Structure 1
Amino acid sequence: MAAISTLRNLGPATESAFLRAGISTAEELRALGADRAYARLLDAGERPHFIAYYVLHMAIQDRPWTDCQGEEKAGLRRRFDALKSRHAAPADAAIESALDALGVGRRR
């Protein structure tokens, strides 16, 4: 079984986060797929971060993270936003709601 950090683009910090989420090998990560694995990270309390999400997609495909561009990146952004709305910690959702009420939002 290979360590998560053996995947392109993923290092020790990402590996530690996945270990806290109960995912311990590169094979398990690939079997889950990027969306399910990222949802597990969010459920384990990791803060949502779009770059980490698309880097994960590229890592599972063994592609450089800089390959993610254009419509592919826009599509991943939509998927990330949907995952975040279902799995992000309530505190983050409260911040988003407060910013929306003020008429400002996080930059996208």
Structure 2
Amino acid sequence: MPTDPPDPISAIRNLGPASEANFAKAGIHTASALRALGADEAYARLLASGTAPHFISYYVLVMALQGRPWNDAKGAEKLALRAKFDAIKAAMGPKDKGRSDLEAALSMIGVVERR
């Protein structure tokens, strides 16, 4: 009985073992599943699983799913990606309710105790 060939996320250009591990935490285990979800939904799932938001990681994911070099977008395209990233992040809501922006930022980097 033939088996399906491996379909690792790391087979997608620009995505390596660290990306693969983060996507696994978000319940995305194959390159085909990642492609089917698309960049926006997959990134939202990463954030929901606890991955800290970072524009470059979103940008790299979009470029990877398009088969482009990670730093290929320029000008208006990059600005549009930034706007989409900000919208995805905002839709996730605040992580540290009841804390000031400064306290939340300090918590994120481990300076104050996490709640």
Q: What does residue 34 of structure 2 align with?
A: 29
Q: Deviations over 1:58-102 (max 9, x none)?
A: 000110012111111100000000110112651399554779xxx
1:6 equivalenced with 2:22 (yes/no): no
Which stretches of structure 1, 4 residues or more, deviate above 2 A after TM superposition?
A: 91-99
Aligned with 1:67: secondary structure?
coil
Q: Identify, as 1 or 2, the structure richer in helix.
A: 1
5+ residue gaps, structure 2: 1-5, 105-115
Aligned with 1:74: secondary structure?
helix
What RMSD over aligned residues (CA atoms) do the two structures have, in Å? Answer: 2.2
Distance in 1 separating the partners of 2:57 and 2:97: 17
Alignment-mate amino acid for residue 58 of structure 1: M
The count of aligned residue pairs is 99
Q: What does residue 87 of structure 2 align with?
A: 82
Alignment-mate amino acid for residue 18 of structure 1: F
Larger Rg: 2
Q: Deviations over 1:28-74 (max 9, x none)?
A: 00000000000000000100000000100000011001211111110
Q: What does residue 42 of structure 1 align with?
A: 47
Distance in 2 separating the partners of 1:44 and 1:59: 21
1:63 equivalenced with 2:68 (yes/no): yes
Distance 1:91 1:73, change over 3 A: same
5+ residue gaps, structure 1: 100-108
Alignment-mate amino acid for residue 16 of structure 1: A
